[in-house]
């Protein structure tokens, strides 16, 4: 099985930046697609960004496009989410996820999930 551990969350003022990391361990594969999802209080979990196994293909939710950047370093089994120009609406628990081969924006497609890291943006 694969274990995913997120880090880098915290409290930041509106307009600030954070970088989240997700480290994979266990039975990992470098050809896995990976993604970030988030869940705000009282709302359903939503897609944020995803990246193909090679890093050559990336998709973003419209709400974060132009502000967030997803990347990965397969040698370190690590995925990143650079978050700039943060808004109060970005406050949520952020989860990383992984699946075999095929990139997807649909959370039910992902077999492996981390426990999440809290991001709080103050206004």
Encode pLDDT of 30-61 as tens digits: 678 999 999 999 999 999 999 998 899 999 99
Element holding 6 (H helix, E strand): strand 2-7
The CA distance from 61 to 104, in Å, is 12
- Asked if pLDDT for residue 28 goes beyond 80, the answer is no
Query: Positive or negative, the Cα torsion across 90, 51, 70, 30?
Result: positive
Q: What are phi and psi of 22, to 5 degrees?
A: -135, 115
The CA distance from 45 to 116, in Å, is 12
The pLDDT of residue 29 is 67
- Asked if pLDDT for residue 106 goes beyond 90, the answer is yes
The CA distance from 121 to 118, in Å, is 10
């Amino acid at each position: 099985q694969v274990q995913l551990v997120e880090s880098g969350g915290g409290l930041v003022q509106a307009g600030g930046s954070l970088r989240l990391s997700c480290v994979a361990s266990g039975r990992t594969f470098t050809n896995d697609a990976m993604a970030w999802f988030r869940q705000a209080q009282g709302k359903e979990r939503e897609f944020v960004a995803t990246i193909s196994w090679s890093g050559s293909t990336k998709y973003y939710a419209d709400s974060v496009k132009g502000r967030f950047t997803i990347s990965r370093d397969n040698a370190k089994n690590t995925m990143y989410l650079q978050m700039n120009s943060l808004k109060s609406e970005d406050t949520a628990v952020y989860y990383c996820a992984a699946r075999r081969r095929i990139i997807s924006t649909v959370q039910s497609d992902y077999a492996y999930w981390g426990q999440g890291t809290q991001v709080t943006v103050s206004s």
